[in-house]
Amino acid sequence: MKKKFKETDIPIYEAVIDETDESTGFKLISIVRDPAIGVKAMCFSEMDKIEIKLKIVEDKQLLIGPALIPDLKIYRNDQYGEYYTIFRAEQIRKMVERFNKNGSNKKINFNHSNKMIDAYIMQDFIIEDPVYNNARAYGYDNLPVGTYFIVCKVEDKKFWDSYVKSEGFSGFSVEGLFGMRLIELSKNFDMELEEIVQEIDYLSEIIEDIEGEFVINPGPSETEDEFIGRCMIEETKSYPQDQAFAICKSKWEQRSS
């Protein structure tokens, strides 16, 4: 069942990582056209010449900007209905630490697909001070403390020319496995008893849907990425990540054949 909420009643979930489960957190940075955070990265290409002391650097093919902004509500509408997701500054820090610890700075894909890009993160940091921070040097003056900021080098000139320059793919989005903690169900506190009963019925249906998903088989309307993501959450509880991925991939291929 897909729940349609009134705008003031859309639930809000906080994205969290499991301290004991290394598979949670974000694993990839994706280059997208319209990032969920609503702020596009800055593009430095052959059209922009950046003077550093006496040296002129041309055609650097850099994407620079925020990837995660704390406490920013990100609207989602999927098989579970409408909801907002937010990332708290504390969780962003933990996710970034895990991301860098695992050496994932070369895992850049295109628009949340299986297409990997010849690119890498040259520099990343969390903004610690609202005034004295490196983001301001790139023209970002109002990003809050706790923002995750990236300087990304795109080595593939064909991709740069075709998608970044021509098609406007100049934003960052994170991709991974996150726990979701309900922090606010509704701002409407004067709900009638009938509405409360309907809400309980709806939550019961969600629980039934989730219990049904423990049988890890592709759903009739699932995309490959949706199924692999759901399958990985369960299979990594019993298998190492590479084995879990192989199992999930095999199940998808059997379904498609």
Q: What six digits make up the tokens of 203?
A: 């939550």
Where the chain has pLDDT below 50, the residues are 1-2, 5, 45-58, 186-193, 207, 210-214
Is residue 197 situated within a structural domain?
A: no
Q: From the CA atom positions of the chain, what is the Rg in Å?
A: 21
What separation, in Å, do the N-terminal and C-terminal C-alpha atoms of the chain show? 28
What does the chain come to in residues?
Answer: 257
Is residue 223 situated within a structural domain?
A: no
Is residue 198 situated within a structural domain?
A: no
Predicted pLDDT of residue 194:
53
Q: Using alpha carbons only, give the angle 180, 225, 29 rounded to the nearest 5 degrees.
A: 70
Cβ atoms of 149 and 125 within 8 Å: the answer is yes
Predicted pLDDT of residue 199:
59
Is residue 248 situated within a structural domain?
A: no
Q: What six digits make up the tokens of 114?
A: 């299986």
Domain count, the chain: 1
Predicted pLDDT of residue 104:
84
Range of the domain at 159: 7-189
Is residue 203 situated within a structural domain?
A: no
Q: What six digits make up the tokens of 150?
A: 């990236």
Predicted pLDDT of residue 185:
58
Q: How far apart are CA 247 and CA 244, in angstroms?
A: 5
Summarize pLDDT for 144-193 with one digit per residue, the tens: 999 999 998 999 999 998 998 888 888 888 888 887 777 665 444 444 44
Is residue 122 situated within a structural domain?
A: yes
Is residue 153 situated within a structural domain?
A: yes
Q: How far apart are CA 207 and CA 190, in angstroms?
A: 25
Predicted pLDDT of residue 57:
25
Predicted pLDDT of residue 141:
85
Is residue 215 situated within a structural domain?
A: no
